[in-house]
């Protein structure tokens, strides 16, 4: 488990991009939840529910701005402004 956490921290920028894209796709498809990853050997499923979409986008926005993924941030803002 510790290896998984270390790898996730090392690849946090890549993970934020994937999470943002999958969350926006889930919103577009009106999906009840977004699944980011599933690791059966560790019994881990990374996902969020529809109620958490806005929080997930807001949380990952900072990292995406930090790595200069401005287009992705601009796309996410459309979903955040759609309240």
For the segment 29-50, what is each residue's pLDDT rounded down to a tens digit?
999 999 998 889 888 899 999 9
Predicted TM-score (pTM) of the model is 0.87
Strand-pairing partners, residue 35, are: 47
Q: What is the pLDDT of residues 53-83, one digit of tens each?
A: 999 999 999 999 999 999 999 999 999 987 5
19 CB contacts (<8 Å, ≥6 apart)? 36, 56, 60
Nearest to 62 by CA among 17, 6, 5, 8: 17
Cα torsion 25, 31, 33, 38: sign: negative
Q: Residue 36's Cα: distance from chain center in Å?
A: 7
Collapse the DSSP code of 67 into the 3-class scheme (helix H, G, I; strand E, B; otherwise coil) and give the result.
Answer: coil
């Amino acid at each position: 488990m510790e290896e998984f956490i270390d790898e996730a921290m090392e690849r946090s920028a890549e993970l934020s991009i994937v999470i943002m894209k999958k969350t926006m796709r889930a919103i577009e498809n009106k999906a009840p939840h977004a699944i980011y990853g599933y690791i059966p050997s560790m019994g881990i499923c990374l996902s969020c529910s529809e109620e958490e979409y806005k929080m997930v986008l807001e949380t990952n926005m900072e990292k995406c701005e930090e790595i200069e993924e401005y287009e992705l941030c601009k796309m996410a803002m459309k979903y955040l402004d759609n309240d």
